[in-house]
Amino acid sequence: MLIDVHAHLNDKRLITRIEQIIQDAKNCGIEKIICVSDSLDSSKAILEIAQQYENIYASLGVHPSAINSFNEEFIDLVNKNSANEKVVAIGEIGLDYHFEPFDKNQQINVFIKQLELASQMKLPVQIHCRDAMEDMLKILDKNKELLKLGGIVHCFSGSLKDLKQIQKLGLKISLGGVVTFKNAKNLQHLIKDIPLEMIMFETDCPYLTPHPYRGKTNEPKYMILTAKNVADIKKISYKEMFEISTNNCLDVFKKMR
């Protein structure tokens, strides 16, 4: 069994075919999927999807590029639903310095508030970090006590030094389709040094479709390509890779056990 820990099935490119998408994923061995929110509206949509489909779980959060939707209504929604058995994490939350303009202080503020929320709700976190590794690691280090329930840095693409710090903080990482890209030599090289107990997989669908489908709309069934690619780099069997990543996932997102 495999778990896609980070998917956006509420996206308009996927939601209209969701039943087929879930079935196709299952046929490829991807039996459980965590749908990840990036705003107040998507948090509401994902709660509904998780209620409706058996093996779909919800992560509630506000992405750094949608910080305006971090408001009383969002906090209320999390308060009311955090005990729901299908709500397994807070995320995606974090920092994104890629698209200008952005307000660093505001992003940092909302990030810390959501780390606090996760700690209060006793949920692990799903962290998004783009072009902001230094700030993110600083903030996580300063707020270590909020990370007792663990979590992941999704779509990890940092250095070995970054990875070691993430490990020290007790967090894990998830790897997406990028690891299969021909121009991802650095990441492929780094994977050799990533401890197996830190690795899980995601699609981040509809984005980041693995090779050779790059450019097409991504969906959970393609995650098998990423997982096999990493197993090949690690020189272990697919079966072993799948088992390890699933155990890592269940270790962090305990409600999915």
Q: Contact positions toward Zn ion, by CB under 5 A?
A: 204
Contacts of residue 160, Cβ cutoff 8 Å, sequence gap at least 6: 190, 193
- Measured from the CB atom, the residue of 218 and 245 that comes closer to Zn ion is 218
Angle, alpha carbons 148-133-254 (nearest 5°) = 30
Residue placing its CB nearer to Zn ion in the complex, 96 or 204? 204
Least distance in angstroms from the C-beta of 254 to Zn ion = 21
CB of 208 to Zn ion, least distance (A): 9
Complete edge-to-edge strand list for the sheet that includes strand 199-201: 2-7, 30-36, 56-60, 87-96, 125-130, 151-153, 172-175, 199-201
Q: Residue 249 corresponds to which tokens in the numbers above?
A: 């996932």
Nearer to Zn ion, 204 or 219 (CB): 204
Closer of 108 and 127 to Zn ion (Cβ): 127
Angle between the 72-81 and 40-52 helix axes, to the nearest 10 degrees?
Answer: 20
Of 14, 16, 66, 17, residue with least CA distance to 37: 66
Least Å from the CB of residue 172 to Zn ion: 16
Whole-angstrom Cα distance, residue 84 to residue 73? 17
Closest to Zn ion by CB, 153 vs 231, is 153
Query: Cβ of residue 11: shortest distance to Zn ion, in angstroms?
Result: 10
Residue nearest to Zn ion (CB): 204
Taking alpha carbons only, the member of 232, 225, 233, 196 closest to residue 209 is 225
Q: Quick one: angle between helices 104-121 and 133-142, nearest 10? A: 40
Q: Minimum Å distance from CB 236 to Zn ion?
A: 27
Of residues 191 and 208, the one with the C-beta less far from Zn ion: 208
Nearest CA to 205 out of 96, 56, 72 is that of: 56
Least separation, in Å, of the C-beta of 176 and Zn ion?
9
